[in-house]
Amino acid sequence: MRSGGSQYGTLGLVQLSRFSDLALRALMRLAVADGRGDRMTAGGIAESVNASTSHVAKTVSRLVELGLVESRRGRGGGLAITEAGRQASVGQLLRELEGPGEVVQCEGPAPCPLAGNCSLRRALAEAREAFFAALDPLTVAGIVHTPTRQVLLSLGPAP
């Protein structure tokens, strides 16, 4: 697992990685700033969502690669959410960010002897997909309405 160092896989008992958590927070913060015509920096996002600038910068870099965030340099520059970012399905985004990992680690240095014939492994993979599927109908634009919008606007420094 990428966060917490647990022996359990990517979602470790339905827990998102820190990377995915920051990506969602950054997109939400940018969606609200965009509604006001503001651009933000990775440092501004980091301060407003209570995270380190270096972690947010890495996360934003991935969001730029995915076409969900636009980055401009120079005067009038900064970060802005794209239309694709506003309309992104939360479930699809998490599938992309979390990757194809499993909920439990059946392989590796000390593999489980049941790994090849385990119905629990299959059920956990289905549960992971059900978790993502439950988030598929949600979009970034849809999850930043009031009261969430008001909280996001009150976070950290002005852009």
Higher pLDDT, 151 or 64: 64
Handedness of CA 36, 30, 80, 145 (dihedral sign): negative
Does the global pTM surpass 0.85?
no
Distance CA 17, CA 23 (A): 10
Angle at alpha carbon of residue 51, lines to 137 and 6, rounded to 5°:
75
Which pLDDT score, from 0 to 100, does residue 4 have? 41
Per-residue tokens: 108: 């590796």
Q: Averaging pLDDT over each range in 42-51, 79-88, 105-114, 121-130, which range is the top one?
A: 79-88
Which pLDDT score, from 0 to 100, does residue 54 have? 96
> What does the mean pLDDT of the chain come to?
83
User: Would you call 89 helix, strand, or coil by DSSP?
Assistant: strand
Distance CA 63, CA 2 (A): 18
156 pLDDT band (50/70/90 cuts)?
A: low
Distance CA 115, CA 25 (A): 36
In 12-107, which residue ranges form alpha helices assigned H by DSSP?
A: 18-35, 42-48, 53-65, 83-87, 90-98
Pick the CATH number of 18-154 from 1.10.340.30, 1.10.10.10, 3.90.1150.10, 1.25.40.10: 1.10.10.10
**pLDDT tens digit string along 12-54?**
455 788 999 999 999 999 998 876 767 899 999 999 888 999 9
The answer to whether 39 and 79 are in contact (CB under 8 A) is yes
